[in-house]
Amino acid sequence: MNGVHTTPRAGRRASRHDARDGARTGARTGQGVRPGILSSMRLSQLFFTTLRDDPADAEMPSHRLLVRAGYVRQLGAGIYTLLPLGYRVAKRVEQVIREEMDAIGSQEMEMPVVHPADLWKETGRWYAIGPEMARFKDRGGHDMVLAMTHEEVVADLLRDIVQSYRQLPLMVYHFQTKFRDEPRSRGGLIRVREFVMKDAYTCDVDEAGLDVSYQKQYGAYARIFERLGIGAVAVASDVGMMGGSQAHEFMFLNPAGEDVLVLCEKCGFSSNRQVARTRASEPPAEEPLPLEEVETPGTATIADLAAFLGVDAERTAKAAFFVADGERFVAAIVRGDMEVNETKLVNAIKASTLRAAQVDEIRATGMVPGYASPIGARGALVVVDELVARSSNLVAGANREGYHLRNVNIPRDYTPDLVVDLSSAREGDGCPTCGSPVILRNGIEVGNIFKLGTKYTTALGANYLGEDGLEHPIVMGSYGIGVGRAVACIVEAHHDEKGIAWPAEVAPYAAHIVAIGAVRDPKVAEVADGLHALAAASGREALYDDRDESPGVKFTDAELMGMPLIVTVSPRSLAAGGAEVTVRATGERSVMPLSEVEALLRG
RNA sequence: CGGGGUGUGGCGCAACGGUGGCGCACGUGCUUUGGGAGCACGAGGAUGUGGGUUCGAAUCCCACCGCCCCGACCA
């Protein structure tokens, strides 16, 4: 019995063990839906609940809405359960990714979550990676790791399987759970510790081959984010701990994003601020003037100093101090109006970690915090921004409390160990390609692509025999997309004050059928049941609100949950000639004859 | 790891030294059915954990744990 019209509250009373009508088709495999996922569902049966209030600990819209609408629940810091609705969305997202990966010839497989540590010791990452990698011992006392990524495993497979250039190029990918023990998770699904990632790996004979594979992946990524409804911009990025020669990040523009992007609206230049090299105002060419010490009491900041001396911050040099890899003391010098870009610094000195120096460490080198400069410093690696090196007659610290030096010039007054681009791009700086002022925006990284090169294959001896009869290391690339993070970004991009509005491509169900007034009018239940059964039979996913709830509750939940189409069946709609169809995203609503609604539900 | 918050029923909150309440949600019954309905009855809590102060602690003190936000860090 499907009894909405025969028994009040049928939805609530119905035993969950009842064999339902044809609408419940667990065995059916609809298009794009994997076996085991019901292609259609009654809300009276669904494992979910909606919340009237925002959860107190959720701030971002995606977090609030996904919890309120019954898609996810938090288990611990940065650890989430995907409830049936959320799991369906994740599967839809995965399917989009899968189709685009398959389309460029990438082969799906599955690699383990738990790895023997030996493999990670071989590449050195066992030692290089800090506490963000979870480690444990198995019962035999062997070191094991929870995988953060899978370069090691792929390279290990390559050395076993690939012998000849004839087996290349090759692209593989998988969806797998990663665990990264983040020092701080945040933002709901945006930054978590356990998450499913699609990671793909390309394997080529040489750099030229890698370029081709990289471009294929780049194209696939663009199509994926297009289909997912995430307006992601590709930006040049740092290669970081992954190593390699070139990398892009696909960024979803959002104020809550943790990365800062440098964008040029005129020519389309885009880069992560970590590596962006913009043009600042050039220093005037001047003849070096004699060095002169001036008393500057209480001017430990550039702003105070500039005001005290009546000069522009641009005419000063400032020093920032770091300790690299826990041992090397580094003095980084940039112009007073600019900031040190730590990524550029760490790359320039080929360090792997960088931390701010303590005051006593600074004093130990003979420098005076607030009045510091490399002049008279000892034991510090002096790294100078190229703009400072080109400037004449700057004001710098005198390494004496309350004093600065005027007319400091390189190399007359001190000798840098290194002159590099060291400053952080600023809003309004000149675009490196066209010169127009750049803008800064925050972004969330939803995908990344890296040219890895031979770092891992060399370490593991994953070589192939070339046409030339010689062994060469396989050239790899690595390509990731966080599935849960993508889901959250989709919600960020597709919601309003009422709730989520899923793009059709990723919606857990295509339509949300709402029956209103079924108790009073048996015809309503009959029609709604019929539409639901039809949708199910045609493999089109539909959600059917058969609960005995008031209209307000049903409408509110439907809008919160966000299926693309809301189909309302009520005495009123029947009197008007059919069912009312509301497009969730636009609010556009119209009464359509049942035959048309049926066609819609058939897909 | 620093800084700031916060832990009370499924969710949101109140009670701030004297036997823990409210709204929503939940159960039962009746009424109600186009925008989070009404009435009645009802179930559900070692107030994060452990110490301490006190005649008496959800409340004050200490420690620990969890969670959130900012920063450091990180993909």
3-class DSSP string for A393-412: CEEEEEEECCEEEEEECCCC
CA A27 / C1′ B26 distance in Å = 33
Q: What size, in residues, is chain A?
A: 603
pLDDT (tens digit, 9 = 90+) per residue, A526-556?
999 999 988 888 877 899 999 989 999 999 9
Half-sphere exposure of A512 (CA within 13 A, CB side): 27
Mean pLDDT of A566-575: 94
pLDDT value, residue A102: 97
> What is each CA distance from A563 to A49, A69, A508, A521, A581, in whole angstroms?
16, 11, 7, 26, 12
Query: What whole-number distance in Å separates Cα of residue A217 and Cα of residue A259?
Result: 22
| Long-range residue pairs from A219-226, CB within 8 A, at least 24 positions apart, any chain | A219/A104, A220/A100, A220/A101, A220/A103, A220/A104, A220/A106, A221/A100, A221/A250, A221/A447, A221/A449, A221/A479, A221/A481, A223/A100, A224/A96, A224/A97, A224/A100, A224/A447, A224/A481, A225/A250, A225/A252, A225/A446, A225/A447
pLDDT (tens digit, 9 = 90+) per residue, A181-233?
988 888 888 989 999 999 999 999 999 999 999 999 999 999 999 999 998 99
Beta-bridge partner residues of A590:
A581
Statement: the CB of A16 is under 7 Å from strand B: no
- Closest CA to the C1' of B37: that residue is A550
Q: Which nucleotide is closest, CA of A591 to its C1'?
A: B34
Please identify residues in chain A, positions 495-524, with a C-beta within 7 angstroms of any atom of strand B: 498, 516-517, 519-520
Statement: the CB of A557 is under 7 Å from strand B: yes
Q: Is the pLDDT of residue A496 over 80?
A: yes
pLDDT (tens digit, 9 = 90+) per residue, A419-436?
999 999 999 999 999 999
CA A546 / C1′ B42 distance in Å = 26
Region of A469 (left: φ > 0; alpha: ψ -120 to 50; beta: rest) is: left
Name residue A149's amino acid.
Answer: T
CA angle A130–A134–A135, rounded 5-degree value? 95
Statement: the CB of A226 is under 7 Å from strand B: no
* H or E stretch covering A387: helix A386-390
Statement: the CB of A272 is under 7 Å from strand B: no
Task: Tell me which residue of A121, A219, A136 sits closest to A171, measured CA to CA.
Answer: A219
Mean pLDDT of A9-24: 40
Statement: the CB of A185 is under 7 Å from strand B: yes
Give the residue, A246 or A96, on which the prediction is more confident: A96
Mean pLDDT of A441-454: 93
CA A369 / C1′ B62 distance in Å = 38
Residue A564: cis peptide before it, omega within 30 degrees of 0: no
Query: What whole-number distance in Å separates Cα of residue A446 and Cα of residue A188?
Result: 14
Task: Tell me which residue of A529, A544, A528 sits closest to A1, measured CA to CA.
Answer: A529
Q: Is the pLDDT of residue A398 over 80?
A: yes
DSSP A168-235: -SEEEEEEEEEE---S--BTTTTB-SEEEEEEEEEEESSHHHHHHHHHHHHHHHHHHHHHHT--EEEE
The band of A283, judged by pLDDT with boundaries at 50, 70 and 90, is confident
Statement: the CB of A482 is under 7 Å from strand B: yes
* H or E stretch covering A596: helix A594-602
Statement: the CB of A347 is under 7 Å from strand B: no
Q: Is the pLDDT of residue A256 over 60?
A: yes
Statement: the CB of A340 is under 7 Å from strand B: no
pLDDT value, residue A240: 64
CA angle A481–A483–A488, rounded 5-degree value? 115
Statement: the CB of A391 is under 7 Å from strand B: no
Mean pLDDT of A243-251: 84
pLDDT (tens digit, 9 = 90+) per residue, A21-76?
333 333 333 344 443 345 789 999 899 999 988 888 888 899 999 999 999 999 98
In degrees and rounded to multiples of 5, residue A143 shows phi and psi of -65, 135
pLDDT value, residue A540: 76
CA angle A237–A240–A241, rounded 5-degree value? 155
* H or E stretch covering A101: helix A84-103
* Cβ A510 vs Cβ A565: under 8 Å: yes
DSSP A315-343: GBEEEEEEEETTTEEEEEEEETTS-B-HH
Statement: the CB of A548 is under 7 Å from strand B: yes
Half-sphere exposure of A62 (CA within 13 A, CB side): 23
Please identify residues in chain A, positions 445-474, with a C-beta within 7 angstroms of any atom of strand B: 445, 448
Return positions of chain B under 7 A from a protein CB: 1-2, 11-13, 23-25, 27-28, 32-37, 66-75
Question: What are A31's two structure tokens?
Answer: 């298009």
Cβ-based neighbours of A527, under 8 Å, separated by 6 or more: A569, A574, A579, A594
Statement: the CB of A570 is under 7 Å from strand B: yes
The band of A244, judged by pLDDT with boundaries at 50, 70 and 90, is low
Query: What whole-number distance in Å separates Cα of residue A59 and Cα of residue A142?
Result: 42
Give the residue, A113 or A38, on which the prediction is more confident: A113
Query: What whole-number distance in Å separates Cα of residue A528 and Cα of residue A335?
Result: 70
Residue A346 three-state SS? helix
CA A33 / C1′ B27 distance in Å = 37
The band of A243, judged by pLDDT with boundaries at 50, 70 and 90, is low
The lowest-confidence range among A352-366, A537-551, A574-588 is A352-366
Q: Which nucleotide is closest, CA of A575 to its C1'?
A: B34
Q: Which nucleotide is closest, CA of A580 to its C1'?
A: B34
Statement: the CB of A194 is under 7 Å from strand B: no
- Closest CA to the C1' of B13: that residue is A56
Q: Which nucleotide is closest, CA of A181 to its C1'?
A: B74
Q: Is the pLDDT of residue A5 over 50?
A: no
Cβ-based neighbours of A95, under 8 Å, separated by 6 or more: A32
Statement: the CB of A552 is under 7 Å from strand B: yes
Q: Which nucleotide is closest, CA of A553 to its C1'?
A: B36
Question: What are A258's two structure tokens?
Answer: 């943790």
Please provide the average confidence, as pLDDT, over all residues in chain A.
88
Cβ-based neighbours of A396, under 8 Å, separated by 6 or more: A316, A317, A319, A373, A375, A404, A405, A408
Q: What number is the ipTM of this complex? A: 0.93
CA A76 / C1′ B57 distance in Å = 30
Task: Tell me which residue of A248, A193, A242 sits closest to A219, measured CA to CA.
Answer: A248
| Long-range residue pairs from A210-215, CB within 8 A, at least 24 positions apart, any chain | A210/A451, A210/A453, A210/A475, A210/A476, A210/A477, A212/A169, A213/A169, A213/A171, A213/A477, A214/A246, A214/A449, A214/A451, A214/A477
Statement: the CB of A547 is under 7 Å from strand B: no
The band of A598, judged by pLDDT with boundaries at 50, 70 and 90, is very high
Question: What are A287's two structure tokens?
Answer: 């003849």
Q: Residue A21 burial by CB count (10 A; 0-12/13-18/19+): exposed, middle or buried?
A: middle
Give the residue, A517 or A327, on which the prediction is more confident: A517
Task: Tell me which residue of A532, A555, A547, A596 sits closest to A39, measured CA to CA.
Answer: A532
CA A458 / C1′ B67 distance in Å = 44
Q: Which nucleotide is closest, CA of A480 to its C1'?
A: B75
Query: What whole-number distance in Å separates Cα of residue A382 and Cα of residue A321?
Result: 10
Site of tokens 């119905």:
A14
pLDDT value, residue A50: 93
pLDDT value, residue A524: 93
Furthest-apart CA atoms within chain A: distance in Å? 99
Name residue A410's amino acid.
Answer: I
The single-letter DSSP state of residue A165 is: G
Mean pLDDT of A301-313: 87
pLDDT value, residue A241: 56
Residue A137 three-state SS? strand
Query: What whole-number distance in Å separates Cα of residue A83 and Cα of residue A48?
Result: 7
Please identify residues in chain A, positions 403-442, with a C-beta within 7 angstroms of any atom of strand B: none
Q: Which nucleotide is closest, CA of A69 to its C1'?
A: B11
pLDDT value, residue A22: 37
Residue A55: cis peptide before it, omega within 30 degrees of 0: no
Mean pLDDT of A444-464: 94
Region of A371 (left: φ > 0; alpha: ψ -120 to 50; beta: rest) is: alpha
Q: Is the pLDDT of residue A18 over 50?
A: no
Statement: the CB of A341 is under 7 Å from strand B: no
Mean pLDDT of A90-113: 96
Cβ-based neighbours of A355, under 8 Å, separated by 6 or more: A322, A323, A326
